[in-house]
A and B are shown apart, each in its own frame.
Chain A
Amino acid sequence: MSNLLNSLLVIVLMLNLFALGTSRIASVIRTVAMQGALLGALPLLLHGHASSGAVLAAALTIALKGVVIPGMMTRALRDVKIKREVEPLIGFQASVILGALGTVCALLFAGRLPLAAQHAGTLMVPTAVATVLTGFILLITRFKALTQVMGYLVLENGIYIFGMLLVEAMPLVVEMGVLLDLFVAIFVICIIVNRINQAFSSLDTRRLASLKE
């Protein structure tokens, strides 16, 4: 079980690097959708048994992270007629290297945090931290509003991975709250993305520079 889980987590880590390395916004969206869907399946694998609650949570997560949100993003992308992230703050190769460095740091950091016996030997914590770092890199170095939203989603994915360690101990209500909040946040961000496009005729957040000291 632990082997299968760890191989899935390695795929998640590779998807992180792929999201950092591509310039096409559509493929960033697809990568993050794939990551989200994979993560939705995690709780089932983690516990090995399928109670109706766990299946429901998994189905909901896959639907939200894998279908609904990417669908909304793809539609927004089609509406604004842009394809590529041009001129990021640091280049695509450089950000892949940065992401890899972040992953190494996450492994080192996670080594210092002791794990409970039932989670020993899994890559959950380093993957979670590395995914959060990837989200940060996307948020900081990309200028298209859509890519920044994807960065936020990757960050959320990292937190979700960590949440899986607690899925048995935490009540379903909180989990639902988390998912609901994720959805509402993305929804509002989507509206703003539309507004930015209407008001500035562009989705480039560098245009948003009239407010500064």
Chain B
Amino acid sequence: MAFFFIVFPLVLAGLAALIPSGRWRPWLLPVAGTLHAVLTCAVLARQVPTSSTAWLALDPLGKVILLVVSLLFLFCSYYAAGYLRMRGERPNRVFCVCLLAFLGVASLAAWSRHLGLQWVAIEATTLVTAPLIFFNHTQRSVEATWKYMVVGSVGIALALLGTFFLAYSALHAGLEASLTVHDLVQHAPNLSKPWLHAAFVLLLVGYGTKMGLAPMHTWKPDAYGEAPGVVGALLAGGVTSCAFLALLRAYHICVAAGESTYVSRLLLFMGLLSMAVASLFMVGQRDMKRMLAYSSVEHMGILVLGLGLGAPALFGTLLHVVNNGLTKGILFLSAGNIHRAYNSKSTEQVSGAMRRLPLSGTLFLVGFLAITGSPPFGPFISEFMILNGAFATGRAAVGALFLVLLLIVFIGMGATVLKVVQGRPSFAARGTPYRDSVLTGAPMLGLLALVVVIGVALPAPLAALITDAVHYLEGRP
């Protein structure tokens, strides 16, 4: 089963490389996305014993991440077909191949229960997404891709060193050095503490770079700003979720080793720092895609903060992974449409998006309300749970700071978003050919429907999935 998940997107990627017609090639994307989503639904329903020692197995944590990646890719794949039809002037062979390969390696990251294998998968997501950022071949996209590659590779290299440290902590304790999650969690209490501490710091910095935690977030605004909207959606919802899964694994091992106080302090600090840095850069931001990148930095901070709060906030944190992925999809796809209609992403040129593009403009505004935690959308529920967790663990100061930072972000982001959607479109923008179509509009509505459903009535299967994952993290059967 695992092999099929990983191999079929790669086979389709190979097929995409062989298809000569740039008009028909993008249609492989929806095929892959739909097939993957159907398979994911089938596999999520199955119970897998979490004690599996196999390198490839889907545990409850992997299930949550696989669900996010699969859903997001499903909607993005239809959007991408519509987007590439508009961009008929650019060759799309590399773009399609890399998108399909991304689906394969992201599935591998979700399935792998071996930290070395997971590292390879996450490194592979960096490699296959770099050409996607470079799609427009402009000077600015060269610069963004270069920064993405250099900062991303250094981060991932540190994560490898952290993985080695983790293996050595077992070796030093006289255990058989193994990097399977099962063995490490099983033997966690016996692992050598100094090595485990050093390993966690390196893994946090390394995978934190990939997630875009401050102060290792510098690549993020550039990469998200220059990449096409659909790529931004997959980076902000897919790649970051995979990196977060790797961090979850490290957290799981440290908690099983009885080091939760040590990791909590680090995670809380990184979480609040990321939120603070993001809120600073979001105030007065004139570029809407860069603003979304900082919003992503903020939400990675929220995830890490929730993890740092521990048990009472874990459900909210894992739910927030799902919410963040889906809502970022709405925002990046609508921002991409607005960018296309105005040929600009700066608020100096973009205004009146709700008149020029009634659907995309409205969804951009709605997406903003959702991501900043307004009811009745999903992120409201998960952020509220994390806030509750802060007070439940007696960390009132953290809770208060969390609220203040959310408020600053709301105001800062709101100012930019309102400039984009309100007012009258300029004369130049009215003359551009872009209009919302079914392919570029419906995927956003689909994502919105999911975010609203999660916010209004959390579906029981999803709640069960996340409860399973929380129990698994806490070491309960």
Contact = CB atoms under 8 A, between A and B. Distances in A.
Given A159-B157, A174-B116, A185-B127, A200 B150 contact: no
A139 B150 CA distance: 9
The residue in B157, B165, B226 that gathers the most chain A C-beta atoms within 10 A of its C-beta is B157
Given A166-B177, A169-B177, A192-B149, A156 B157 contact: yes
A165 B168 CA distance: 8
Contacts of B281: 213
Interface in B87-133: 116-117, 119-120, 123-124, 127, 130
Contact of B176 (A115, A156, A169): A169
A64 to B, nearest CB: 16
A139 B142 contact: no
Contact of B117 (A148, A158, A174, A185): A174
B391 interface: no
Contacts of B178: 169
A152 interface: yes
A121 to B, nearest CB: 15
Contacts of B147: 208, 211
A188 B128 CA distance: 10
Contacts of B27: none
A125 to B, nearest CB: 9
A159 B161 contact: yes
B416 to A, nearest CB: 14
A192 B142 contact: yes
Contacts of B144: 211
B182 interface: no
A136 B194 CA distance: 23
A53 interface: no
B388 interface: no
A196 interface: yes
A189 B154 CA distance: 12
Contacts of B408: none
19 contacts: A112-B194, A113-B198, A114-B195, A145-B146, A155-B154, A155-B157, A159-B160, A162-B164, A165-B168, A169-B167, A170-B116, A170-B179, A178-B120, A181-B120, A196-B142, A196-B146, A199-B142, A208-B146, A209-B143
Given A152-B157, A162-B164, A189-B149, A114 B172 contact: yes
B47 interface: no
A177 B117 contact: yes
B140 interface: yes
Contacts of A166: 164, 167-168, 171, 177
Contacts of B172: 114-116
A45 B119 CA distance: 28
Contact of A178 (B142, B160, B176, B222): B160
A139 B174 CA distance: 37
Nearest to A156: B157
Interface residues of A, number: 41
A165 B145 CA distance: 34
Contact of B167 (A145, A170, A189, A195): A170
Interface string A143-185: 0010010001001101100110110011000100110010011
Interface of B: 116-117, 119-120, 123-124, 127, 130, 134, 139-140, 142-147, 149-150, 153-154, 157, 160-161, 164-165, 167-168, 171-172, 174, 176-179, 192, 194-195, 198, 221-222, 225-226, 281
A205 B143 CA distance: 9
Contacts of B149: 185, 188-189, 192
Contacts of A205: 146
Q: Which 10 A-B pairs have the closest CB atoms?
A: A169-B177, A174-B116, A208-B143, A177-B120, A211-B222, A199-B142, A116-B172, A159-B161, A199-B139, A181-B123
A148 B146 CA distance: 11
A211 B127 contact: no
A12 interface: no
Interface in A126-149: 128, 132, 136, 139, 145, 148
Contacts of A213: 221, 281
A159 B161 CA distance: 6
Contact of B153 (A115, A136, A152, A210): A152
B116 A162 contact: no
Nearest to B223: A211
A200 B139 contact: yes
A9 to B, nearest CB: 17
B198 A195 contact: no
Interface string A110-125: 0011111000000000
Contacts of A189: 149-150, 153
A113 B173 CA distance: 12
